[in-house]
Chain A
Amino acid sequence: NAGVMQNPRHLVRRRGQEARLRCSPMKGHSHVYWYRQLPEEGLKFMVYLQKENIIDESGMPKERFSAEFPKEGPSILRIQQVVRGDSAAYFCASSPRRGNNEQFFGPGTRLTVL
């Protein structure tokens, strides 16, 4: 399966813990986008990365959230000291190049904060 992979699919954390979400893009894709979707709401852009570079993090909360896409390995979205409001579905999408190109989504990680 050459699709976008995300893990874990479901993640439960208690308030104050850290959450790490992983995304492996489609083969041949070097651009990764992270989105958050709250119930009954649309997808909200968080961050756009290429290998070893954060291109646009304008949608990312200033505190507790960080993202990386190392030279080797998956992209990681990290949420420190989670709060209940962080409970959401987090989707990763990849595209072969920036801008006017199609994004393909992974299955998402459902984060629940107790």
Chain B
Amino acid sequence: QKEVEQNSGPLSVPEGAIASLNCTYSDRGSQSFFWYRQYSGKSPELIMSIYSNGDKEDGRFTAQLNKASQYVSLLIRDSQPSDSATYLCAVNMAAGNQFYFGTGTSLTVIP
């Protein structure tokens, strides 16, 4: 089992819709969770961090964390074509210094 798993997609949504991206992780003791956006040929850009169970909202983005289910998600409201990118989930495992990244979900927002 991989440390962090994401559906690779591609995920396509129409402009203005809600995009839902999901991520599961293996280490139950993990404490920190992050979502990054990566455009093709560019470096990852931090979107959200979340540390506690529940929802965290920042503009059009909402991160949701459920530690009991070892599940973290990212919702993008009012999706725009500029949101088209690969979204990476990252987890800081409890035991060490490493941040484990999922392979990413490719999102396409259709105008």
Q: Who on chain B is nearest to A44 by CB? A: B101
> What does the 1/0 interface line of A36-64 toward B look like (CB < 8 Å)?
00000111110010000001101100000
Q: Who on chain B is nearest to A48 by CB? A: B97
Measured CB to CB, the closest approach of chain B to A76, in angstroms, equals 18
Contact of A105 (CB < 8 Å), options: B44, B100, B102, B104: B44
Q: Who on chain B is nearest to A104 by CB? A: B46
Contact of A43 (CB < 8 Å), options: B32, B44, B51, B97: B44
**Chain A residue total in the interface (Cβ 8 A):** 24
How many A-B Cβ pairs are below 8 Å? Answer: 56
**Residues of A in contact with B (beta carbons under 8 Å apart):** 33, 35, 41-45, 48, 55-56, 58-59, 91, 98-108
**Residues of B in contact with A (beta carbons under 8 Å apart):** 4, 31-32, 34, 36, 42-46, 49, 51, 88, 90, 92, 96-104
Other than A43-B88, A91-B44, A99-B92, give 11 A-B pairs with Cβ distance below 8 A. A42-B4, A55-B97, A56-B98, A58-B96, A58-B98, A91-B43, A98-B97, A100-B92, A101-B32, A103-B46, A105-B44
